[in-house]
Every structure is written in structure tokens, then in C-alpha cells.
A and B are shown apart, each in its own frame.
Chain A
Amino acid sequence: MLIIAQAVVLAEVLADAVLDQPSVSRLAAPLAAFGGILAARAVLAWCQQVLAHRAAASVKAGLRRSALAHIQRLGPAWLSGQHTGGVTTTLGRGLDALDPYFTGYFPQLFNAAVVPLAVLVFVATNDLASAVIICVTLPLIPVFGVLVGLQTKKATERQWKALERLGGHFLDLVAGLPTLRAFGRAKAQSAAVRRTAEEHRSATMGTLRIAFLSALVLELVATLSVALIAVPVGLRLLNGNLDLHTALVILLLAPEAYLPLRALGSQFHASTEGLAVAERVFTILDEPVRKSAPADAGPARDSLVPRSPMPVRALAGTGRRALPGDASVGEIRFEDVTVRYPGRDEAALDHVSLTIVPGEHVALVGPSGAGKSTLLGVLLGLVRPDSGRVVVETGSGPVDLSGADPEHWREHLAWVPQRPHLFARSVAANIRLGRPEASDDEVRRAARLARAESFIEQLPRRYDTELSERGTGLSAGQRQRIALARAYLRDAPLLLMDEPTAGLDAGSEAAVVEAARQLTAGRTVVVVAHRPAMIVEADRVLRLVKGRLVEHAGTDSHRPAEVV
């Protein structure tokens, strides 16, 4: 790309150089040549633009790819501290701001480096005097550019912050309109909007008057230089010291020597937004991955991860033992497990020991922040204990979870989160998430068991209905039942559920509870629950408070009087 662009620019320069020689000749042939050269320039410009656009497209695709891959490695810990909508925009339309950089600034950079020099050399071979003038005045452009730039920068920098605030005032007022209306102040602010916009205008103009000065100075230097060349050329022509041909060449070429340097400034200006976006992407790429996580490790989501950033300690380490997909999962033992998040004094899980026997249904209760989700996270292989360990009995002996390959381990489990993510794909594809090879019949059966069949049948294209982003259009209860269908189809021996009925209305809750009841049959179940309906079914209710298991309640503890 670099070399081609350079060649293109060089060719352009050569075209420049010859372009005008025959222009006053009264012959058709040189005119045709002149037209041909102009045409060649157009074609070369086309090629250059095509190449630049193509390069831009490839660079953007590459950046998108590596950023997403890196984000997946970073996992939910990092994501929980991010505004995902903003990241999506940055990786989408945001990166398009790089186009001007590749199609404008980048080629111009070569132009600026090559064209003035080539013009200078060419002029020097024709008329040394003019070349000397160019040689003397040309460096004035960057010199003045830097000098004036430094001066105006000082003057404008102080003002930009104030300008930003004035400019942001409108967004602030619009965002606060509901509040303004609540207190009857909305109409009173209408004048303020106009007044602030006016203040913003006059302040901006004040800044621009200085900022544009640098462009004015550069333009004046360039045009005066041209005049400086043209007038002596004319005078020498007058004295017969110079032939018209050379004079015209010089006249036409002189501005070309200054143009690229001046254009560079404005092209740079246009490409700064793209560079800022690229900067944001690089910040993402530079984010260190906390742990040598496998490609698929990390992810969790808000329901699993507390609001503040937390590291994902993926299951990793040396001597990773495969946990064969067909091995049966027996007893699961938490042995003195402690989890700490950086920046927090208290442990999220504090020396928790616990045994879950196969087929047991365990309900986890306790205040939020007590460690329920962290405990699930450990089981999901998304959170790694700082001390202690989780041991799983398998057909081939006990396996330490932190030494196991998380992907293999997860094959044994299904998960129903509090707010499942639905993908912008068909309903069937969403249900197939954990088992892509499942047949249509199996998908339907899972949906039926999850009480999702009735509403899916009413969708415009049933199972082939493409869900819009994040499943909007479906109610929370319907989304939850699709997640249950997902878990059914996964058909894993260990089922983990995180408040599957949180935020549902009574009707949806009843449907989800009933679907979940059937799903739990014959499996080992750990459910984080708030509502009685999810708890009464449990064999055992465990209460976590401040990261500790404080009490092992019996199955009949579903009456408030006994729990409170």
C-alpha cells in the first residue's frame, strides 16, 4: 500500500511536470498530450482513491476483529465497567471516521513529502532564480505553521473547555427536560437555550478568529510566494532574458509546490476524529487480560458480576486436566473457598465449605452482595477462588475445578441467568445456543417443556422468527422461557439458575416457575432465589451473608416467620 501510494504520487508529479509544456502551442498533438496527461492524472487519482478506500476497509475490518476478540478475552469484568452501546458504536460507525485519514491525510502526507521537492528540482533545471525563491519561501510554510500554530494553540486551548461546556448545555437541558417539566421550569428555560446557543456562537467565533489566522498566514505566504516568483519572471520575460515556455512552466508549477503543504493541514484536521476513534480502539486493545484465560473464558454478565469492575479469574493454570465430556459428575465440594475482588476489603466469598450431592436441589438465599452470584460464578468457571478449591467427583476420580479446562467443565452444566441475552437470530438458533446440532424436533420439544411453545407459535414465522437485537419485542417472561428452553436442550446434569423470576409479573412468574420445576427434575440444581415459589422445591436452603454460609436451613423454611 505504501509503495503503491508513493508510486501513484510520483506519477502524479511527473504528470504535473509535463502537463503544461505544450499548453500554448497551437498544435493539436501537444494539446492531445496535455489532455491525455490530465486524463492520466484523473485515472491515477481514481486508482489512488480506490486503493486508499480498500486499505481503509481492510484496516477497519482488522481493527474490529482484533478488538472484539480481545474484548471476549477480557470478559465480563471489563465489560461491566463499560457502556456497551458506546463500544458498539465505536466499533461500528465510529471507525468509519478513519476513512478521511486513509483517503485524505495519508496520501497527502506523501504528496507533501514528494511533490514540492520534485517541483523544486524541475524548476531548478529550467530556471535557477525561481527555484531559489521557492527554496527560500517553501520552508516558511511549515515554519510559520508551527509558529502561528503554537501561538493560537495557547489562545484557543483555554477557550475550548468553556466552549465544550456551552455546547453541552443543550444536551444537559434536553436530558433534564422531564425534571424541568416536573417543576414547571421547562418553558422558562426556552430563552436560556437560545441565550446559551448565542453565547456559544460568539465564544466559538472568538476562538475561530484566532484559529483560522494560522490558515490565513499560510495562505498569504503561499500566494505571496507565487507572486514573488511570477513578477520577476514577467520582468525577465520583458527583458527577453526568459522564454515564454519556461515562464509558463514556472508560473503553473509554483503553486503546486506550496499546495500540498497547505492541504496537509486541513486534511490532518479532517482526520483527527478518526484518530481519536482509533485511539479508543487501541485503549481497548491495550487493556491487559488479567489471567491467561482460554479463548472462551471470562464472560459473565451483570447478574453475575457486581457493578464495580471485577477480575475474571478464568480457570487456568498448569496441568490442566481434561474433564471428559462423557464423564459423570458426582459430588461437588467447595473446600474453604475464598474469593476476593480487588479494591474491596471484604471477601466476596469467605471460607465457604459446602458439599452438593448428585441430584440435590440447593437454593441460595441472602442479601444481594452476599456472594450468591459469586458462588454461582465459581461453579460456572467464571470466577476463580483465591484460596481453597472446588473439587468435582467424576467417574475417573476427583478433579480440581481450577485445574480443569473450563470449556469441558461447562459441557456438564446449563445456566439460566437473571437476564438472559437473546441474540439477533432466529428463535430456534437462540434455543440451540448450547447444542447447535440439535434437530428441529428437539428444539420444539425443549420449547414445549419450557412453556415457550404457545407464544413461539404465535410469532410471525414461528421458530424461524428473527429476534430483534437483545430480543426486544418479547416480554421478560418470554425471554426467560427461551432461556429455559436453551437449558432443556442443553440437557446437562448440573443446572444453575440465578433468580430466574426476578422482575417478572405474577403471571409470567408462574409460567417460569412451572417450566423450571420440570427442568430441575433428575438434575443437580443450584438456584439463587428470592421468591418463595423457587425455594419451596429445594431440598436444602443455604443462606449467605457477607460471603459466609451462616445457616443451613431445612426445606420447610419457606415461611417468612422462620426465615426472617
Chain B
Amino acid sequence: MPAGTARTNQPVRRLLGMIRGHVSRLALAVTASVLTELAALALMGTAAWLIARAAQQPSLAALSLAIVGVRGFAVSRGVFRYAERLASHDAALRALATMRGRVYDALVPLAPGGLPAFRSSDLLNRMVRDVEAVQDFVVRVLVPVATAAVVGVLTVGFGTVVLPAAGVVLAVGLLVAGVVVPALTLAVSRRAALRLGPARAELAARTVDVLRGNADLAVFGAGRQALADADRAAAELAAVERRAAWTTAATGALAMLVQAATTVGVTMLAAGAASDGSLAPVMVPVLTLVALISFEPVLPLVPAVRHLLESRDAVRRVLAVLDAPPPVAEPHAPLPAPSPAAVIEVRDLRVRYAADRDPALDGVDLRLEPGRRVAVVGASGSGKSTLLAALMRFAEPESGSILVDGADISRFGSDDVRALITGVTQDAHLFHTTVRENLRLASPSASDDDLRAALASAKLDSWVDSLPKGMDTVVGESGGQVSGGQGQRLALARALLADPPVLVLDEPTEGLDPETADELVADLLASTRGRTTLLVTHRLTGLNEVDEVIVLDSGRVAQRGTHAELVAVPGLYYDLWWASGLRLSEGVEP
């Protein structure tokens, strides 16, 4: 029924294509659903026949079959309904599993640079919820629509057999209630959405103002005004909603009117046929009730339109993810994995995230020889993390090159590159699993001794020992046992365990208190002596130990040299050094 409207919608059609594999499960759900509705119809039909026939006072034997039927249909309807709910949820969950797999596979080459969602937990949450919308689509749209179609056809068929004219009326009525009214609902909802959208956006913007602009508003004496603006936005939204209520509620009533008209029409025809003898009088109430009840699977199509629209929007967003081009292309014939002793050379590197934006990195040169330790410093947004992203093949250079032992980095498989260059990345994630599993992620074959050594290097061994379950303690999202600093140190331990030829450390001390941070940096520098290391940091403590410091500013190399050279001349590094001295032992803010 509104499958007609669905078919014209690209996202829904693609969704149907993706869950095609579950067609047998879906068929099972629809079958159970159809049987439920048919049992309900048969129950009322038989009961009506039974009563009408009984009024003619035949022998009990003539009624016994119908009596059994009534009882049988009554029980089977409940059982079928139970089966239908299980089957449709089963199909929905299978479809969800398929979608999750597909979305995950699509996301792999996109992380972390290819999708804005990776920079915002809100967006990430919404995307995951969008994937879950496939369940709603199956349970609340697909199965009801298919059921209404099948039951509609069968009812019309029954009506036609009993009384052809009644079949025609029933067909028209069901088509109007099942196709025309939902289509109308679709149009009305779209129009309402056009007005609701801006009203919602305005309310959200005013809410954000009151929440995030709290202090600015208070100090500048504008708080009352902002609150009044938010009130007005809420009132405007309510007004739009109230206006929309008339039309959205009307469509449901319209379907009921069609039901009424159809039932009256069928009854009239049946009564007429009975009076001229072409229809057995007992069939009059049967037809009337069948007509009335046959709308039961059709009436829910009106609310199904809302679910269709919602799941379609969600699917559209999911499809955008599936269609997003990976920021970094894999080579068709990758070179063999680079040697662990490879020399990495960055030449005149420029990286740009969007054509209309300034380059995030421009004209950067860097040479990483085995054993060399380089620190990159600069304000947030200066391009430090972009440099790491380019080296780890998370971002594609716009121009310039990164050479690994003389071969362009793009000729290696990106996983091979990351086996060479990896470590603590920005926002390193702690998974909702044990400390042990979180660590072993970096080295699945690591022994417990290896794990302990890594924990000790990250100054985490005594903390883990203090936990009742030690390394089997579950951490992560809802682990709740890990402070920001401990999480950061776990990520560090993981990177040390991975033991890559080139160790990358993106702000390894972020979130630590100043004393611990200084201690950790000192330990890090001690443990990375002789190891190729690229350290991105705000803190300048200990940088006198690295071979080279690169100061980035707006994506360009502002200064480079050793710590001693840089503090001897005026410039950004000097300022930073001065400021860090000024702040004494303080955690550096972004």
C-alpha cells in the first residue's frame, strides 16, 4: 500500500536491497501477521454467521462446526499474534545485524578523518541510533504494509465470491483507506515538517545560547532577553505544533470515515441482495462484520507513515556514511611492508581537509631516522595532529610527499604503514572490556609479563595491582573505574606494548596532573631513548632531551631546532617557554 510511495524513495529502496537477505524471515513475519488478521476476521465472521444462523433455529449439529471455528479462531489469533511479534522482531534484529556489519565495514576506512562523526560523540551516538532505525522500519512499516496488502486482497477476494458488488465497494474502501489516506498523511506530514524544522532549529539555537552563553549573558546583562527569546521560540514551536495537530489528527479520522462509509455500503448491498434472494440472509451480518474488521490492518498504516518518514531520514544519513569516500586510497598493488629500520622523510607536505578551507598543514619537512626523537609543539589547530594523521595514513596529502625508505607512502598498504608508525593517537579509546584486553589489542600475542612491563613503564602497575580484579577489571565507557589520567596512561601502556618502530605520542600527558605529567614525560623520554619517536605536546618540559623541536603555527613550520637553540632567540617557542616557566608546574591548557 504506501509501498507505492516507498518505492519512489531512493533511501528506502536501497534499505530494502540491503536487507534482502532476510526475505524468508520477513516473509515468515508477514505470514504470521496475515494469519493473525485473518483469524480475527474469521472469528468475527464465523461468530456473526453462527448467531445469524442460530436465529433461524436449525439443529445444533448444523452449528457445531461454527462453534468449534469460533473457539479455534479465538485461540489461534492470540497464538498467531505472538508468533508474528516474535518473527517480526527476529527479522528486524537480523536486519540490524546486517546493517551494523555493513556500516562497520564502511566506517573502517573512514576513521578517523573521513567522517565528522568521529569528532563528536553526539554525532556518533546519533549515527548508531540511525542504524537501529532499521528495526523500526521492519516492525512498524514493512510488516504492517505487507500485511495490510495481503489481508486487503484476501478480504476483497472473499467479498467478491460472496457478493461481487460488495467486493468492489470493499476494494475501493480499502484502497482509499490504505493508499490514498496514507499518501495524504505523507503530504501533510511533509508540509508540517517544513514548518516544524525551522521552529525546532530556532528553539535549539536559543537553548544553546542560554546554556553555553550563560556567563556572557549574565555579565553583559542580557540573560533575561535570551530567556525571553528562548521562550518565544518554544511558544512558536508549540503554535506550529498546535496548527499541525488539526491536519495530522484529521487523516486518522478520515480513514475511520472511509471505514464507516464502506461498511454502510457493503451492508446496504448485502441487505439488498438478501431481500431479492440472491444472498443468504445469514451472510448479511457476516459481510458487514468482515468489512468492518478488514480495516483493522489498514488503519495502522496512517501512523506507519510517521515511522516511514523517520526511518527514511535515518536511513538517508546512514547511506551518506556508506557512500562517503575514504580519505585515503589503498594501493592496488601494495609494496611489501616497509622495513622496521625505514627512514621516513616528509617533503613540503601540504594537507587540506576541504577545498574551501585553508590547508591544515603547509610546506612541512621532517626527517625521521631510526633512533631520532622529534617533538612537535604549537597551539591547538596549528596542524600537529594533522601531521601525525598524514604519517599514519589517516589523511591524504594534497601536495608534497612522505617517503618511506625512498618509496612514496601511498604505495604501501595503510595497515603496513601503521604497523611501522603508531602509538597514542588523539582521543585514544578505551574499550568496554578488561584492562588486559584493552592492552592486548596492540599485541594479541603479548604475555602477562609483557603487559606488566608496559603498565610499569606507564606508571600504572601499582594502580592495576590495587584493583580487586587486577588486569581483569572491566574499564571503558561504563567501567567507571578509570580517571582521565589513568585512561591516558592505559593508552600509553598500550602504545608501548605495541612497540612500533616509530612511536607516535599525541599529547600523552593530556588530562594528567602537572606533577604526574612531568614525571611521565621524564620516564617516557628515558624509555624512548634510542627509539624513533614523534612526540606531539603542549608541555615543553624535557624537550631539551629530544633531537629536534618543530614549532608549528597555522600549519606552517614557524621554527625548528634544538630546545637550546630555540630558547635563545625571540619567537613562538621562546614565548611558550616563558609562559610555561610563568605557570610553573601547571597543566597546560589547550
CB contact between A295 and one of B223, B275, B426 (< 8 Å): that residue: B223
Residue pair A506, B553 in contact (C-beta under 8 Å): yes
Interface-lining segment among B144-152, B417-425, B524-532: B417-425
Residue pair B78, A34 in contact (C-beta under 8 Å): no
Asked if A517 is an interface residue, CB under 8 A from chain B, the answer is no
Would A235 and B222 be within 8 Å (CB), given that A200-B97, A420-B216 are in contact?
Answer: no
Would A407 and B94 be within 8 Å (CB), given that A68-B210, A76-B214 are in contact?
Answer: no
Interface size on B, residues (CB 8 A): 154
Instruction: Give the complex CA separation of A183 and B584 in angstroms.
Output: 36
Contact string, A411-455, partner B, CB cutoff 8 A, digits 1/0?
Answer: 101110100110110000000011010000000000000000000
Instruction: Give the complex CA separation of A9 and B586 in angstroms.
Output: 68
The 6 closest A-B pairs by CB, nearest first: A38-B260, A53-B245, A367-B586, A299-B214, A49-B249, A197-B97
Task: Give A199-253 interface residues, CB cut-off 8 Å to B.
Answer: 200-201, 204-205, 208-209, 212-213, 215-216, 219-220, 223-224, 226-227, 230-231, 233-235, 237-240, 243-244, 247-248, 251
Instruction: Give the complex CA separation of A79 and B218 in angstroms.
Output: 14
Chain A residues, Cβ within 8 Å of B226: 423
CB contact between A296 and one of B218, B430, B477 (< 8 Å): that residue: B218
Contact string, A233-276, partner B, CB cutoff 8 A, digits 1/0?
Answer: 11101111001100110010000000000000000000000000
CB contact between A69 and one of B124, B128, B227, B442 (< 8 Å): that residue: B227
15 inter-chain pairs at a CB distance below 8 angstroms, sorted by A residue, are A24-B52, A54-B242, A174-B128, A182-B428, A197-B101, A208-B86, A251-B48, A367-B585, A424-B206, A433-B217, A434-B219, A476-B381, A503-B380, A560-B578, A564-B581
- Give the distance to chain B from A163, nearest Cβ to Cβ, in Å: 11
Chain A residues, Cβ within 8 Å of B47: 226-227, 230, 234, 251
Would A215 and B85 be within 8 Å (CB), given that A53-B242, A173-B104 are in contact?
Answer: yes
Task: Give A142-199 interface residues, CB cut-off 8 Å to B.
Answer: 165, 168-187, 189-190, 193-194, 197-198
Residue pair B253, A219 in contact (C-beta under 8 Å): no
Would A26 and B234 be within 8 Å (CB), given that A433-B222, A505-B553 are in contact?
Answer: no
Chain A residues, Cβ within 8 Å of B248: 49, 53
Chain B residues, Cβ within 8 Å of A530: 579, 582-583
Instruction: Give the complex CA separation of A53 and B48 in angstroms.
Output: 37
Asked if A380 is an interface residue, CB under 8 A from chain B, the answer is yes
Interface-lining segment among B106-114, B369-377, B397-405: B106-114
Residue pair B214, A301 in contact (C-beta under 8 Å): yes
Interface size on A, residues (CB 8 A): 152
Chain A residues, Cβ within 8 Å of B554: 505-507
Contact string, B382-397, partner A, CB cutoff 8 A, digits 1/0?
Answer: 1000000000101000
Asked if A365 is an interface residue, CB under 8 A from chain B, the answer is yes
Dominant secondary structure at the A interface: helix
Asked if B449 is an interface residue, CB under 8 A from chain A, the answer is no
Residue pair B249, A50 in contact (C-beta under 8 Å): yes
Chain B residues, Cβ within 8 Å of A533: 575
Asked if A61 is an interface residue, CB under 8 A from chain B, the answer is yes
Asked if B297 is an interface residue, CB under 8 A from chain A, the answer is no
Residue pair B71, A227 in contact (C-beta under 8 Å): yes
CB contact between A212 and one of B82, B125, B216, B382 (< 8 Å): that residue: B82
Chain A residues, Cβ within 8 Å of B200: 92-93
Residue pair B97, A423 in contact (C-beta under 8 Å): no
Task: Give B257-311 interface residues, CB cut-off 8 Å to A.
Answer: 257, 259-261, 263-264, 267-268, 271, 274-275, 284-285, 288
Chain A residues, Cβ within 8 Å of B285: 23-24, 248
Task: Give A383-435 interface residues, CB cut-off 8 Å to B.
Answer: 406-407, 410-411, 413-415, 417, 420-421, 423-424, 433-434
